[in-house]
Chain A
Amino acid sequence: MAADGAQAPEADGTKPAYEWDLVVIGGGSGGLACAKEAAKLGKKVCLLDYVVPSPQGTTWGLGGTCVNVGCIPKKLFHQAGLLGEGFSDARGYGWKLPEGVEVDWEALVTGVQGHIGSLNWGYRVALREASVKYMNAKGSFVDAHTVEAVERNGKKHTLTAERIVVAVGGRPKYLGVPGDRELCVTSDDIFSRTTKPGKTLVVGASYIALECAGFLHALGFPVAVMARSIFLRGFDQEIAELIGADMERRGVRMIRPAVPVSFEKDGEQIKCTFKNLDFGLEMSESFDTVLLAVGRDAVTSNLGLDRAGVVVDPRSGKIPVVAEQTNVPWIYAIGDVLENRQELTPVAIKAGVRLARRLYAGATQQMDYDTVPTTVFTPLEYGCVGYSEEAAAEKYGADNIEVYVSYLKPLEWTMNHEEHNGTAVRPDNAVFCKLITDKTDDERVVGVHYLGPNAGEITQGMAVALKAGATKAHFDDCIGIHPTIAEEFTILDVTKRSGKSALKKGC
């Protein structure tokens, strides 16, 4: 009998026959990885994937949030924005490019959706090749070993399973103010609408809000961001403020601290009435598009988890787990649906694969949720791994950490002397590097933060260093690659404690 009691024998010694070894509810990053791995290990696996249309009617194919309405389209739209910014740089290098080059929004959307279609296809093929039974149906628990799957046309299937993995992910929250569901869009919708966004209000201070505001602005649309208080809660706040300032310098309007009170139609536009939290004043302004990015909820409300006896946090809808196991031993959960875990695709994938191996290949390796690198793809990108300065000070004590900082300007930007609205398009000291060490442990590097271009690529390598336990001496001992921005991490010298300026002066 398996350790999770999956196959409890009947009184006469025979084992109950379940139709499936494993049913996975959710065909996103985590669900797909787990299902494929389990099937590769010889198990009979059924995967259910179903997208409830957004309030605006948007739906999508197989692959989950990342592929359809998350990481993938986000990065492509971000890249489109970067390319637009590059025209200014290109003129500095002598390219005869006119000012005012515009983007064909519809072409961008259809192009991105075309690529997403190929990813939907790739996953469908992968499931077929792995002999995973795929059903486009909404799953919910009938009891702890039984899942009902309902197709879009209402046709029902009953699946019995020895083990079940919940990988249903999350969906955008709404504010609960009048007009929000009827009139506003979210990240669920923005990547597939062929109509141009126009003058846009982005509500929220999350990375999703700032990334969307960033690329919409870069693509040429007038954008305002409305935030209740701080940006990027949970991230290093020094850098969060630098990101906000950079976006404002680029021309994104910041309306904060403020919260929307109601939305209503104003001809072809949407009028947002909002409250300024400093003065308590209510004001209103109309926009062509309002995008809400105020958080995400786990999609567990219609899952029937109570019928399976699975404990759920009632506020967030998220599932608490230990080693991805819920309180019901043969029911597991991975991905965004988990409580207190990073909502990242690679986390879900690795957790799903390792879980399948532990269940079916006798493996013992657990998922490691520590030292997970991530990158925020705002116009000025932010990559980080390890502790923020605040978290490091709390964990180790402010006196026990050393914080190295540096500002610089990438060589590639030095050719661009253009100005927009009186400020340099490529300002000096725009890029920021921060390294945090634990003085009590040989100056072990506990946090790396990088604000600048190619943040994801740079941070990935840093993350390996941190996982390997690198110290400041390792960084100092490593020769830089020249000329790059990343080499700055091998010559960091100025500490915050010293009080010296980390700004670069000079020609």
Chain B
Amino acid sequence: MLRGRSSEPPFRRSVVTQAKVEKINGEQLEVEIANRDTTLIVDFFATWCGPCLLLARELEQVAEQMEGKVKVVKIDVDENPDLSNMLKIQGLPTIVFIPKENGKPALRTEGLLPAAQIMEIVGQLESGTVQAQGTAE
């Protein structure tokens, strides 16, 4: 069992001791959004999608390193087709960053992003240096 991880060694042990990203459904998402007290990151994925699986590892890292400052959840689009259609989820993975403040628009990206870049986006969203164009809510 690994205890913790050093930051970005040339080789990487990717066994996470405890999964921090919870898989939820559409109903639970509404609850998460309503009750959030940090930035909420929603990962829309599919089991057959390679980059989604890679992103899952990156997000576990984000969830661990930004624990308390960010909450990360994931939704299987095959299991939640109505929600995915409503949100017009097209490319996979789609990551939606929902800021803590109500009224601030959410940011969404498509494709694999490394953990460092995800954390930077969160930082920029919170400090206001990046403005999301539209809302996904």
Decide if B48 touches A59 in the complex (CB within 8 Å): no
| A56 and B14 contacting across the interface, CB-CB below 8 Å | yes
**Judging by beta carbons under 8 Å apart, are A117 and B50 in contact?**
yes
The answer to the question of B89 belonging to the interface, with a C-beta cut-off of 8 Å to chain A, is: no
In the complex the two chains form, is B53's CB within 8 Å of A61's CB?
yes
The reply to whether A120 and B50 contact each other, CB–CB distance below 8 Å, is yes
Is B10 within 8 A of A269, CB to CB?
Answer: yes
Interface residues on B, range: 20 to 34
Q: What is the CB-to-nearest-CB distance from A113 to chain B, in angstroms, rounded to a whole number?
A: 5
Interface of A is mostly: loop
CB contact list, B22-69 vs A, under 8 A: 46-54, 57
Within 8 A of A (CB), among B80-100: 91-93
Tier of interface size on chain A: 35 or more
**Contact indicator B112/A113 (Cβ below 8 Å):** yes
* Known interface pairs A110-B114, A136-B48; A57-B13 also in contact (CB < 8 Å): yes
Report Cα–Cα, A72/B54, bound state, in Å: 17
Q: Is A288 an interface residue (CB 8 A)?
A: yes
Q: Which residues of A contact B9 (CB under 8 A)?
A: 195, 268
- A116 in contact with B12 given A110-B111, A194-B114 (CB within 8 Å): no
**Bound-state Cα–Cα, A288 to B10, Å:** 6
Residue of B9, B47, B91 with highest tally of chain A CB at under 10 A:
B47
CB within 8 A of B112: which of A117, A193, A195, A198? A117
Instruction: Verify A195–B8 contact, CB threshold 8 A.
Output: yes
Hey, which chain B residues are within 8 Å of A27, CB to CB? 48
A27, B11: Cα distance in complex, Å: 29
Interfacial residues, chain B to chain A (CB-CB below 8 A) = 8-15, 46-54, 57, 91-93, 111-114
Q: A61-B46, A194-B114 provided; 20 other pairs, C-beta below 8 A?
A: A56-B12, A57-B14, A57-B15, A58-B14, A60-B50, A61-B47, A61-B53, A62-B48, A110-B111, A110-B112, A113-B50, A114-B111, A117-B49, A117-B51, A117-B92, A124-B46, A152-B47, A195-B11, A268-B10, A289-B11
A-to-B contact residues, CB < 8 Å: 27, 49, 51, 56-63, 68, 106, 110, 113-114, 116-117, 120-121, 123-124, 134, 136, 152, 182-183, 185, 192-198, 268-270, 288-289
A59 to chain B, nearest CB (A): 5
* Smallest CB gap from B16: residue in A: A57
Give CA–CA (A484, B10) in the complex, Å: 43
A95 to B20, CA, bound (A): 51
CA distance A415 to B51 in the complex (A): 41
Count chain A CB atoms within 10 A of each CB in B12, B57, B93, B113 and give the residue with the most. B12
Of the listed residues A113, A120, A182, A270, the one surrounded by the most CB atoms of chain B closer than 10 A to its CB is A120
Nearest chain B CB to A219 CB, angstrom units: 15
Expressed in whole angstroms, the Cα–Cα distance for A134 and B48 within the complex equals: 9
Question: What are the residues of chain B within 8 A of A114 when measuring CB–CB?
Answer: 51, 111-112
| Residue of B whose beta carbon sits closest to that of A182 | B13
Chain B residues within 8 Å of A197, by CB: 10
